[in-house]
Amino acid sequence: MLTIRFDRLDLRPGHRVLDVGTGFGRHVYECARRGADVVALDPARDEVVGTAETLRSMAETGEIDPSRITGVLRGDATRLPFADGSFDRIITSEVLEHVQDDVAAIDEMVRVLAPGGILAATVPAWLPEKVNWMLSDEYHAPKAVGGHVRIYSKTELAAKLRSAGLDLAGSHRAHALHTPYWWLRCAVGVDDDDHPLVARYRSLLEWDIVERPLATRIAERALSPALGKSVVLYGRKPAGVAAGDDPARTVAGAAGPAVVAGVGS
């Protein structure tokens, strides 16, 4: 399930891509399929290991070129272990709402983005998220480990991206059909995955992702501007911004985060 639109990202073969907070890698897989040189970074070991294993399987079956996978790393979004200007494209999807110092994280992503490069940032949209918080204390921090620590408005996220030096290059909403699902989960108990209503709705969403029927595609497009669970912003780093270090094609090493699994040739 992809949240960003790759036509807005303007991704091309050979682009260097960093996925910050990759989770289980849904966006990095698509970037690799499209011929980008990808690096996946996440603070959680399980997600990093799972992403590496999936990328390895994709390479073994010929779905992606293994030489395109630079590495899969554990790391902190506020202290990225890369040289200035190392990446042509950066994706951070449903991550910043978990980060206490989101300004530092955004500054770091802009630092390692090459001049002229594009950052795609997605966060939960204000209204769906506000309802979730009202329905369930367990959904968000401080009770939930790794929970959401803020509710963004589109205006707030846009202002933070601009303050970090990006020129905004478009926005949209996504995943309208997922908004009622999360309202339902928060209403019955966010950890109650086996609740009959939750299970039925989850089965519907899984069927929709696999089958992509026309009816739900039309509904998604019509409802997303108002009910989309995620808001997505795209920012471009001005071409005249100088980088402090040489933006080499290889990832710069640093103390701290380490490569857990590489899947290159």
Higher pLDDT, 229 or 242: 229
**Prediction pTM value:** 0.88
Distance CA 235, CA 86 (A): 16
Q: What is the dihedral of CA 93, 97, 107, 263, to 10 degrees?
A: -40
198/192 Cα distance (integer angstroms): 8
| Range 169-185 average pLDDT | 95
Mean pLDDT of 20-41: 94
| CA nearest neighbour of 128 among 88, 74, 184, 82 | 184
How much is the pLDDT for 249? 36
142: its two tokens: 């401080």
pLDDT tens digits for 102-126? 999 999 999 999 999 999 999 999 9
Nearest-10 crossing angle of helices 178-188, 126-135: 10
Phi, psi at 6, each rounded to 5°: -75, -20
Q: What angle, rounded to 10 degrees, do the helices at 154-163 and 102-112 form? A: 50
Compute the radius of gyration of the chain from its Cα atoms: 18
**What is the Cα–Cα distance from 53 to 58, expressed in whole angstroms?**
9
Start-to-end CA span in the chain (Å): 28
The percentage of the chain sitting over the pLDDT mark of 90, rounded to a whole number, equals 78
CA gap 180, 242 in Å, rounded? 45
CB 179 within 8 A of CB 228: yes
Give the pLDDT band (50/70/90) at residue 137.
confident
Give the chain's domains with CATH numbers. 6-125+145-174+229-261 (3.40.50.150), 176-227 (no CATH)
* In the block, residue with structure tokens 């991550």: 95
